[in-house]
Each structure stands twice: as C-alpha cells, then as structure tokens.
Structure 1
Amino acid sequence: MVAQVAQSSSGIYAELHSIAADVRESHLESKRAPSWTLATTFSLLALLVSLGSAAYTAVYTRRKDSRARQQSINDEYWLRKIVSPLVIEPLVKWLLETVGELPADCSEATFSKDAASAYRDTFQAQMLVHRRNLIVLKQLELALFEKAGEHLDDIEDGVLDYCGENALETKRADGSAAQPRGPLVAKIQENMTGILGAVQRFQNRLS
C-alpha cells in the first residue's frame, strides 16, 4: 500500500515538473517572439502610405511628361507650319521694306513733306494688319505675344515721330534734321531682331 502511494506521488510530481517546464518554455518563447505593438501598426501604415505615394507620383509624372511632350509637338507644329509662314516671315519682310522705303528726312535734298505724310498713313495701315496677325502668337504663349507687341510699339512710335517731325521740318541749330533716318533704321532693325530672338527662345524651350 505504501509502495503504491509512493509510486502515485512520484507520478504526480513528475507531471507537475513537466507542466512547470512547459510553462517556462512558453514564457521563454513569448520573450523571443516579436511583440505586435501599436508602434508596429503605425510603422506598417506609414510604409504602405509611402509606397502608395511613390506609385502615384511615378504614374502622375509619367502622364505629365507625356502631356508635355505632346504639347511641345503641337507647339512646334504651330510654330513651323502656321506662325512662321503666316506671321513672322511676312512681318520681317515688311520691316525690311519699311527700312528701305523710309522717306528722306527734312535735311536731305530729296525731302518731301507730302511724301513723309503719305508714308506715315501707309505705314499705320500696314502696321494694323501685322498687329492683327500677331494675335496668333497667343496660341503659343502669352508672354511671346506681349514681347512681340512691345517691339512693334517701339517701331511704330519711332516711325510716327520720324514722319511727324520731318513733316514739320523740325531741325537742329546746325541745320540737320531733329529726327534723322539713321537712328530710326537702327531702332527698326534692333526691334526686328528682338522679335526673332523671342521666337527663337520659345522654340528652343520646345526641344
């Protein structure tokens, strides 16, 4: 009987010892295993947001670049096929003719008051036509249109002053014309170059 009790006690002790060992092992495993905390959750969310943002940026940039390339192609077509032959080339041709056809100033032997007045009227009518054509530049860029308009303003002011002062036969004390041809020719050429330069800079930005 005593032997049976001893054997039973020994079995119970062994079982308790086994349970205690399992508990210790489980405790050690829980320490070794990473704990899922609130900080971990936020880190994962931040990672997902970052990845999503990067993907969106990549797609948006690709589409934006594609639209920019298409716009550049369209602008290049407009510039070469429409603006240049219909606006720029006729304007340059006319400005060169303007320089060549300027009437004599009042200090020259060939001066004619009537010629100066007639030229002024013809010039203003032609300037109006070219200003209307210039509106096409707005389809490309407002700044380009405005810059070209400023150059035409300067040319127009110069020609009108020249014709007006010479029609009045305004002279300096030395007998020379108050508004001689030379400075006006230089002004027209300078502004014509300014218009061409503005167009060229715009074209360079397309490439």
Structure 2
Amino acid sequence: MKIIIADDHAVVRSGFMLILNYQEDMEVVATAADGLEAYDLVAKYHPDILLMDLSMPPGESGLIATGKIKEDFPETKIVILTMYDDEEYLFHVLKNGASGYVLKNAPDEELLAAIRTVHEGGTYIHPAMATSLVREFIKKDSDGVETDPFKILSKREIEIFPLVAKGYGNKEIAEKLYISVKTVEAHKSKIMEKLQLKGRPELVEYALRKKLLNF
C-alpha cells in the first residue's frame, strides 16, 4: 500500500518512514510538514493511506486538512497520529472523515495494525477510547442545544479562532492566513455572534474549555 506521512517534525517523519518501509506490504511515497502540503501530495500520488499528525503549527492542522482531503480524495484513508488522548479530538477527526486514531506513544505493532485495518476498510480506535467516543457523541448541554464549535463554525473560522484567543492582531492573522484584514474582522464578528460571546475574555475561556488553542 502507498502511504504519505504528514508531521511537522522531520525526525518523526523519518522515524515512521523507517518503520513503514521495513514492512513488505507498505511503501512511504512522500512526506509532508503540514496539512496544505499533505493535500498537494495526496493530489499527486493518490496514496492508499495518509498518516497525519493532528497539530502541525504554524501550518494547516490535520483536522482542517482531513476534511478537505476526504472531500476531494475520498479513496485515500486517513489515520490520525497524535499525542492527544482526548475524546473531543477523536470525535472531531472521525466526523471529518478519518478512519483511524492512534496515539504517538503507542507501540509500533499498534500503528501497523491500525494502518492495515483501515486499508482493509475498517476503522481503528484504541479500545480504551471507545467509551469516550460514545459519550462525546451524545453529549450536549442540558437544554439540548448543540455547542460543538466544529459544527457551528466554518473551517476558516476554526482557523482564525485560536489565533484570536492567543492574542494575535487582525493584521498578524491576515498575514498568517494570507487573507485581508477586513476578512479577518468579518470572521471574528461571525465567531462572536455564532458562539454568543461578548468579548475576548469569554472567547479565551471558550477556547480553553473546548481545547481549540492547539489549532
């Protein structure tokens, strides 16, 4: 099977490449440093598997890239490789189209099993996280209102949100995302409106609570 590895650390990419290329049924055809590069390489090589890190600052995150890649290249199966054993991350990447979720501290055998399971059409989630997945799936506020920011916000708003929470100004955000300052301002207004936030302190608190700062 043809595999692409996306991770922002070169040493991590090299390490996993050695492990996977040692397998008779696996070949790493390319590596990427962020989600944008991963998208371009998937378009070029059409791999069977994309092994992708969840957080790749300052480039595009694995979460954002997963949605884009699955929409345009549904035949490529995506396995998320991350250090976050958190049910919210797990739930969001599965909703965005990932077929596997493996922790970076997992043994090599688990990673290989996950890749083979996904390649055969299955879904791989660490057994200990299965209960968390079900709990997150049914979790809502007591009044039944949906509070998942990944359902409420657009992909661009999800990119802008953590930058605002971290204190970046409109001009800095515009330069990072290659958009205009007016576009940033418009998205910020929509974020505040959609999430019913009254100011930056509430926005920061919300970002911390929903674990958005890593994006």
TM-score by length of 1: 0.20
Bigger fraction of residues in helix? 1
Name the TM-score, length of structure 2 as normaliser: 0.20
Q: Which has the higher strand share?
A: 2
User: Which structure has more RCO (C-alpha within 8 Å, separation ≥ 6)?
Assistant: 1
The structure number with the bigger radius of gyration is: 1
